[in-house]
Structure formats: structure tokens, C-alpha cells
Amino acid sequence: MLQHLSLYNLGCLVELPSSISLLTNLRLLTLDRCDGITDLPSMCKMWSLEVLCICYCYALQNLPPRMDALTALRTLELTYLENLENGESLSSSILEHTAVTELTLTEIWLADASFIELMTSLRKLTICVHVAGILTLACALPALRLLQYLELNTGMSSKDKIINICCSLKA
């Protein structure tokens, strides 16, 4: 019974089989540098999945459908997914996971981070936000009472916006 599956440097891989959803005992799934994959199949039967890392999959355009079925998910890492449609589709996919304790969104530049407010179980947050999205993040942070670690990248410094973040952390 497979519990960990890590796929690295498989640029020739263009899709994952839909049967991947049948790996019901899988606890960790890592897709790293699988450059040919544009879409992921549903993972709706992966009830045991605790960690999902999708990194450097440059062609990936969408997160898997039915991510709400991943009820055991605690760590979600989405890193360097240049073609991933962000905005509402990204935030709604992530928003389904209010029990996630670690969220990493690196090089996925969000203009609106207000969805973070509902992720009250977060203990660790690593996020890239456009300067325009700093205020939405600042408003969301006070709801994250369990947050112990915050790593923030805005791509540029804006003293006033950073002050807003600091004030929300104090709250």
C-alpha cells in the first residue's frame, strides 16, 4: 500500500492517469519539474492525502478538480506554477481546505489574498502578493490566531503597505 509518491524531473510526462485517485492510502504526493503536465486528474478518492506539493510544473494550468475531497490535507505547496490560472479559481480551490496548517504559494502572485482569512488553522504561511494585494492580506491576518510563521514577498517594498502588515500582525 503506497503512502508516498514523488515524481521528479519527468518532463516527458504529459498527464497523470485518472487512476491516481485510487491511491486511497497515499499520504504524500509531490510533483516536481513535471513540465509536460497541463492538467491534473481528480484526486477525489485520496482521502488520506496529507501533503500535496506541486512545484516547477511550468505548463500546469489548473489545480485538480474536486480538491474539496482531500479532507486530510494539512500541507499544500504550490511553487513556480507560471501558467496556473490564479485569482478566483486558485483561491476557491485553496479555500476548500480550511484545515490546512501549512500553505506555500511561491511565485504565484496574488492580487487578492482575502481568502486567507478563512484558513484559521494556518500555522505557517509563505506567500507572494502583488503590492495591490497587501491590504487584503493585512485585513486577513488578524483571523489567523494560530499563525506562527509568515514569509511574505511583495516583489517590491512599499513602506506604507508593510506598516499595514505589521499592524495587522500586532492585532
| H-helix or E-strand spanning residue 95 | helix 88-95
- The DSSP symbol for 17 reads -
Give yes or no for a contact between 68 and 47, defined as CB atoms under 8 angstroms apart.
no
Residue 7 main-chain phi, psi, to 5 deg:
-115, 115
Which residue range(s) make up the domain with 42?
4-170
Residue with cell 486528474: 41
How many folded domains does the chain comprise?
Answer: 1
HEC readout, 63-104: CCCCHHHCCCCCEEEEECCCCCCCCHHHHHHHHCCCCCCEEE
pLDDT per residue of the chain (171 residues) written in tens, 0 to 9: 899 999 999 988 898 999 998 999 999 999 999 989 998 998 888 999 999 999 999 899 888 877 878 889 999 999 988 887 655 556 667 766 778 999 998 887 777 888 888 899 999 999 888 777 778 888 888 999 999 999 988 766 555 555 556 555 655
Residue 77, domain CATH: 3.80.10.10
Predicted TM-score (pTM) of the model is 0.87
